[in-house]
A and B are shown apart, each in its own frame.
Chain A
Amino acid sequence: MAYDKFTVLQSTAVPLPIENVDTDQIIPARFLKATERKGFGDNLFRDWRYNNDDSPKQDFVLNNSIYTGKILVAGKNFGSGSSREHAAWAIYDYGFRCVVSSFFADIFKGNALNIGILPVTVSPAFLDKIFTAIEANSNASLTVDLPAQTITIDASGEQESFDINGYKKHNMLNGFDDIDYLQAMREEIRNFSGARLI
């Protein structure tokens, strides 16, 4: 599925200073029964966000109206566990375009990039600075500049650069995906397959 291009994103952010957020928390298994990619945002962080009677849990950050924005900032080892791409869909569908953490689980990172969410890995110290800035002022904005590969806390001007491989960067900037690339290689793949032993 092609997605929106990503260049420079300036936005306020939603803080989730919890470590090891696994994809079962991002979207619990019982919401994986759809046969279409629709409506997952409503169930993002379902069990942290709602009580059993579907009333919102007041202490969860998504229910706190002072925090808004297209950037989710989370603790270390974000997206561990199940490979469900539904976790990335839920984050995208809710309205986030970028997730910032000091460490991402591999599969989540790949899934995010495949659907147009930019995972930005920062140092633990910079992550703390972001949390502190948002805590001090929920309107504090961040600027994620993909062409320059930098993330900036706008109020203080503190900045860090982040890594992304050139191929993925090109895709994100243009809204291309891997399927387009692979389709163009079908003949080469057929030949490769023909030469395989098993």
Chain B
Amino acid sequence: MSNAVSTLFDKVWDAHVVRKIEDGPDVFFIDRHFIHEVTSPVAFLGLESRNLSVLFPEHTFATADHNTPTINQHLPVEDPLSSKQLKALESNSAKYGISHWGLGNPKNGIVHVVGPENGITLPGMTIVCGDSHTSTHGAFGAIAFGIGTSEVEMVLSSQCIMQPKAKKMRINVNGQLSKAVTPKDVILYIIAQISASGATGYFVEYAGDVFENMSMEGRMTVCNMSIEMGARGGMIAPDDTTFNYIKGREKAPKGEAWDKALAYWKTLKTDEGATFDLEYHFNAADIEPMITYGTNPGMGIGISKSIPKAADVEGGASTYAKSLSYMGFGEDEPMIGKKVDYVFIGSCTNGRIEDFRAFASIIKGRKKADHITAWIVPGSHIVEAQIKEEGILDILTEAGFLLRQPGCSACLAMNDDKIPAGKYAVSTSNRNFEGRQGPGSRTLLASPLVAAAAAVTGYVTDPRELLEA
């Protein structure tokens, strides 16, 4: 077995199997566990009721993000329920000796932004969190996926969960990306091709020169949305881009430990000749800036295209009609020119510094459209500080935008940042489900460039036109 060729996924998975259960799941060891205020309280109650301790508190990291306010974070949180969850996270962390980056902590931010940023996320690791976008961390060549609250309790009490090994899929994208085509467009394109359920049961490896040439932040955007095609997670083999990103970060290994780790990380790639259960090949040149028109992330098209006809869409016609009617759209309508009410830039998908740089590249020298409400929300305080340092804040202010404070915000609208019913939001987040951004809200998922173009024109606009100017 040991000489056999294997995939990146196999190498990392097999290194973490504590016990194999016959006709059952693997007992799977977890290196890093992130928790936040929404999906952890009941897990801690479970520990208490069974009188269990946390086995390795040093492997769990807590941050508050899902329902934190994005303005006036220095004031007490008004919503009593949110406030209760935040306090529960703080007191549970203190009780069990878990490091906690709460509201106001300079390291606070969205869990999937702060993990990588502080060097907690490393290649070859297994990483879980009670949040489906944990797949983000796969960008480092880690196996990372979202878990439910019962599993949060398992990891706290035993540092393991029970998992059947997923099937393996490889998605290859090769060639040259066109102008204004960002990592977000690449993943929205892939999901539109494979569908919102097309990768269910699989763990995906992204390969090909498009990903090799991509920055770490871009890779995180791609892996983040793996779950939106049903995949358990997605990963990209670590390379020099990865190692350069990690080196020097606070919790990354240093000195001799770094050298040792690096030698191991370099072995983490799919061997020549290793096979996958399913493989796709896409051509980078076919991808244009993307936008979604429906109520699942698979309902995306190139921005210059028209909404597909029901007859051309795989799946139930009634489900399709329901989705379009929720959005207030009709078959065959063009997306360009549709009126937009809100623009949201942020989330663990597109809330990192490169995303704000991209946004600013279009905003610069222009003004926010009068009828647009824009929520500009950095993924963490570290990103917020970079925005200020690099002069992006000045560009935003001059164009009439306000910078908010870090958190998940309108990505899931658990705090006050809710898109009102019937309103259209161009959003850089990851889900366009009915009501995801507030009851009755209508979400168009897109890249920071498409969001910026909408923010200054007030309509769905092809960003290529504004970049040419």
Contact = CB atoms under 8 A, between A and B. Distances in A.
B-side interface mostly? loop
Given A30-B414, A33-B82, A198-B122, A83 B18 contact: no
B197 A105 contact: yes
Interface in A27-41: 28-30, 32-37
B31 interface: yes
B162 A107 contact: no
Given A1-B46, A193-B159, A165 B23 contact: yes
Given A25-B433, A83-B146, A84-B39, A19 B319 contact: yes
A185 B319 contact: no
B85 A107 contact: no
Contacts of B197: 20, 76-77, 80, 103, 105
Interface string A154-186: 000000000001111000000001110111011
Interface string A94-133: 0000000001111100110011000000000000000000
Interface residues of B, number: 79
B23 A111 contact: no
A168 B24 contact: yes
Contacts of A136: none
Contacts, number: 207
A197 interface: yes
Given A32-B38, A167-B25, A179-B46, A83 B160 contact: no
A188 B79 CA distance: 44
A185 B434 contact: no
B154 A182 contact: yes
B434 A198 contact: no
A198 B159 CA distance: 14
B311 interface: no
B151 A182 contact: no
B162 A178 contact: yes
Contact of A19 (B52, B161, B232, B316): B316
Interface stretch (B125-133, B206-214, B387-395): B125-133
Interface string A31-61: 0111111000000000100001000000000
B52 A189 contact: no
Contact of A111 (B19, B66, B148, B153): B148
Given A28-B435, A35-B88, A111 B150 contact: yes
Nearest to A197: B264
Chain A, interface size category, equals 35 or more
A197 B148 contact: no
A185 B18 contact: yes
Given A35-B41, A83-B130, A105-B197, A75 B413 contact: no
B278 interface: no
A19 B433 CA distance: 13
A131 B24 CA distance: 31
A20 B159 contact: no
A29 B414 contact: yes
Contacts of B74: none
Contacts of A115: 150
A96 to B, nearest CB: 17
Contacts of A178: 150-151, 154, 161-162
Closest CB pairs A-B (n = 8) = A167-B24, A166-B23, A85-B148, A83-B146, A33-B81, A111-B148, A182-B158, A114-B150
Interface of B: 18-19, 21-25, 27, 29, 31, 38-39, 41-42, 45-46, 49-50, 52, 55-56, 66-67, 79, 81-82, 84-85, 88, 122, 124-125, 130-132, 146-151, 153-154, 157-162, 164, 166, 196-197, 200-201, 227, 230, 232, 253, 260-261, 264, 296, 315-316, 318-319, 322, 412-414, 421, 431, 433-436, 439-440
